[in-house]
Amino acid sequence: MITKAILKTENLNIGYTSKKSKIDIASNINLELEAGKLITLIGGNGIGKSTLLKTITSIIPALSGEVYLSDNKIATYTPESLAQYLSIVTTEKLPASNLTVSELIALGRHPYTNWIGNLTENDLNHIQNAINITNINHLQFKKYSEISDGQLQKVMIARALAQDTPLIILDEPTTHLDLFHKVAVFKLLKKLANENNKCILFSTHDIDLAIQLSDEMIVMTEEFCIQDQPCNLIEKGVFDSLFKDENIVFDKQYGKFIVK
């Protein structure tokens, strides 16, 4: 099975299992994530976006089906080797600490450093590179608790960059940001995908921006999960079925949702 996809899912069923019951969230998901592409994941609240991201990042197990990372089953990777393929940016709040921005980014080098975590010249280069690309030079000596949400989001992206993985997965990186910072994060991720040849997947509720800037989109609804280029999705009328409310309609001409 040879594809150029970095990550691929085959008939993936996702959900949670507990001792007594199995909760299905979404089924039959077939995705292919390729290098150099910015891919956004959209869908209503509670539809299972986070569950999907957690499943393909191996945080929770799949109910059935397979996730392939570089043509190998993701379960065959050790945590250490997985950390060199895949980095994440989550919505979870960081525990309070005295970490500075550059120390936080340096933690991204963990999978490569020795037992005590000493940074080599190469590690320092990667860290500086991540700081330069995300344009946060002015923040690096500040404590991360002292910077704004928008700045912190960039720092977390820089941390994932320092981890130097072909695939970066982000869970709602633009939530809580104003339009200016949303656009900045979108543009940054777009640049990383197109210029640095990363494969970037992230979930978002900013559908208008996603349509304008993503190379591909994954749309999740209760009935289906489809992956395609934004223009094709518009033509197929996929967005019309995104929200089950007659008052929200998708305007094909402007590529955005309108409230009647």
The 8 Å CB, 24+ separation contacts for 192-197 are: 192/133, 192/157, 192/161, 192/168, 193/36, 193/37, 193/38, 194/36, 194/38, 196/133, 197/35, 197/36
Stretch in the footprint of another protein (CB under 8 A) among 76-84, 181-189, 198-206, 218-226: 76-84
Which one, 69 or 209, has the nearer CB to another protein? 69
What are the distances in angstroms from CA 168 to CA 161, 189, 217, 257? 8, 10, 15, 28
The site for another protein, by CB under 8 A, has a size of 33
Which one, 151 or 227, has the nearer CB to another protein? 151
Which one, 80 or 245, has the nearer CB to another protein? 80
Per-residue contact flags (x/-) with another protein for residues 133 to 162, judged by CB under 8 A: ------------x-----------------
Tell me which residues in 162-201 interact with another protein (CB under 8 A).
163
> Of the candidates 74, 65, 77, 48, which has an alpha carbon nearest to the alpha carbon of residue 203?
48
Q: Are strands 216-220 and 225-228 parallel, antiparallel or unpaired?
A: antiparallel
Q: How far is the CB of 83 from another protein (least distance, A)?
A: 3
Tell me which residues in 104-133 interact with another protein (CB under 8 A).
104, 107-108, 110-111, 113, 115-117
Tell me which residues in 45-64 interact with another protein (CB under 8 A).
57, 59
Burial class of 126 by CB neighbour count within 10 A (0 to 12, 13 to 18, 19+)? buried
Contact residues: another protein, CB under 8 A: 57, 59, 78-84, 86-88, 90, 92-99, 103-104, 107-108, 110-111, 113, 115-117, 145, 163
